[in-house]
Amino acid sequence: MMVSSNLSNKSMVKKVQKKKGGSLLTLQFIPYAEIESLSSSERIEKLLSIVKADKIVLLEGRLRSHEEAELIRSTMEQIDQKFKGIELSVIDPEEKKIKSITKIIRSSVLNLLLGNRKGFTIIGPANVVKEIKQDPDKIQLFTETGGKKR
């Protein structure tokens, strides 16, 4: 497996390539500062354009709750024979401390206007990322090639 990275326009792009089979998995890191000044619709448009290019977005922080709903809505509007949708997951290291999802949701609501730089948001194209599983100690991205999960 080959891993390469370069810096492009503030965001970091990591490419993971299997030597055999030639499948390419690209992870693009987006610092929160890169979306901070954007409107909600611009943020969603930016993130979806990256995902639609078959890249996995690793966003610093999280979207506001209404932006998450808008992201799902926009995704649905853009689904076609090539683009099947997204896999979405938010990881917050603070979650372990506060334990309950309700508190996480409440924390999200408090950040409704301010935005939130804590944690990470992973958004992957559904044709590449089949499932994102959150375990207390790890995050698993299941991708699929040749009908097999890995």
Partner 1 sequence: MIKGLKSFFSKFRKLFKKKKKIKLGLYGPPNGGKTTLANRICKDWLGEEDAMGKASNIAHETREIQIKEQVVIKSKGRELIFNLVDTPGIATKIDYEDFIKAGMKQKEAKSRAKEATKGVIDAIKWLDEMDAVVVVLDSTKDPYSQVNITIIGNLQARDIPVLLVGNKIDLKKSDIKKVEAAFPQYAVVGISAKTGSNIESLYDGLFKLVK
The residue with tokens 């326009």 is: 9
CB 41 within 8 A of CB 89: no
Tokens describing residue 90: 């938010």
**Which of residues 34 and 70 has its CB atom nearest to partner 1 in the complex?**
70
Please give the C-alpha separations between residue 31 and each of 97, 98, 148, in angstroms, as whole numbers: 24, 25, 32
Nearest approach, Cβ of 107 to partner 1 (angstroms)?
A: 10
**Which of residues 3 and 53 has its CB atom nearest to partner 1 in the complex?**
53
Nearest approach, Cβ of 22 to partner 1 (angstroms)?
A: 23
**Which of residues 10 and 84 has its CB atom nearest to partner 1 in the complex?**
84
CB 81 within 8 A of CB 139: no
Which candidate, 111, 149, 131, places its Cα nearest to that of 56? 131
Coil/strand/helix, residue 72: helix
Nearest approach, Cβ of 2 to partner 1 (angstroms)?
A: 28
Point out which residues bind partner 1 (CB under 8 A): 65-66, 68-70, 72-73, 75-77, 79, 81, 84-90, 100-106, 108-109, 112, 126-127, 132, 134
Nearest approach, Cβ of 9 to partner 1 (angstroms)?
A: 27
**Which of residues 38 and 110 has its CB atom nearest to partner 1 in the complex?**
110
